[in-house]
Amino acid sequence: MTDPLGELSAAGVAVWLDDISRERLTEGGSHTALAKLLDESHVVGVTSNPTIFAGALAGSDDYDAQLHDLKVRGVTVDEAVRMLTTYDIRWACDVMRPAFDASGGVDGRVSIEVDPRLADQTEPTIAEAKQLWWLVDRPNLFIKIPATLAGLPAITAALAEGISVNVTLIFSLERYRAVMDAWLTGLEQAQANGHDIAKIESVASFFVSRFDTEIDKRLEKIGTPDALALRGQAAVANARLAYGAHLDVVNGQRWAALKAAGAKPQRPLWASTGTKNEAYPDTLYVEQLIAPNTVNTMPEKTMKAFADHGKVPGDTVTGNLQSAEMTLDALREVGVDYDDVVEFLERDGVAKFDASWKELLAGVQAKLEKA
């Protein structure tokens, strides 16, 4: 029998689950649904976001007992959300701890996001990151900080405090380079502050499918044969060039000094890898983004699809950097404004997570009233 997820892991791609819920942490008794994915599906990490949490709480009674206690204590809805979400994340960290230990602290990571309403505020984001790090209190935690302009100095500050960071909502190559600079600066400051930088991990979450969704709309509006022929190619090309930018940094002198002090590289993480266009293969953003020292965080539907019929032909990124550049050039030639696309996607991404957070708050408020 073939084992596509095992082959993917062997090719250097860490398989992470893009989902969390109380049900995953309770279903199955002592061998929970999440533990089963760790043991049987090569899953070595978990990511969460406001949308995932809003969905997890919306139709579940698994949180009712804790909601009752929170109501008795008279906590605010904001505090209730933090207690509910950090409880799940702490539990998931404990479930994933074997992967953390086995990988020397590289994998086995679980991510929780700072309040998305703070995306354009540096100091509150730093304070929130520190609070979440203290509240969950697990070495295999990642604090997700958005790669907004206000988020960049927060990323540096969090790392300088010894906090491991998952940088989220990256769409543009220029912003990704700024993220890597913020990461390097954070490690340098952490070292100066006396932290053991070997224990500080980071990933950079480069969003994929949303890129194709937006650019395909623009290509269809342009409507020329040359434009239509480029549909479904932009996201993979953009991500491949991001990996090229990553290689430039890890082959540089600045990183060499940190590496000599024990630091681990910031891995590119492919996020939003479930295909949104049914015309595209359901494993597209996994098969076309195979490269060493990367992470692919997948919705369970995508993970199951890859386990069923995914292919691992080897590294599908490194040898295709030139063709990726040609694809982005072709997009510009037919009239797609790259800078406008990435600016829109960042604004839209922050707005969607903000809306999900408000949905989460409203849902918890309603459940508290009924508890």
Catalytic residues: 144
45 forms beta bridges with: 109
371 in Cβ contact with 71 (< 8 Å): yes
Of 298, 313, 331, nearest to 219 by C-alpha is 331
313 in Cβ contact with 33 (< 8 Å): no
Q: Is 204 left (phi over 0), alpha (psi -120 to 50) or beta?
A: beta
Quick one: CA torsion of 193, 195, 196, 202, rounded to 10 degrees?
Answer: -100
Instruction: Give the three-state DSSP class for 294.
Output: strand
106 in Cβ contact with 16 (< 8 Å): no
Distances (CA, A) of 176 to 38, 49, 97, 134: 30, 20, 29, 27
106 in Cβ contact with 123 (< 8 Å): no
Distances (CA, A) of 77 to 13, 58, 135: 38, 15, 17
Helix (H) or strand (E) holding 225: helix 225-228
338 in Cβ contact with 332 (< 8 Å): yes
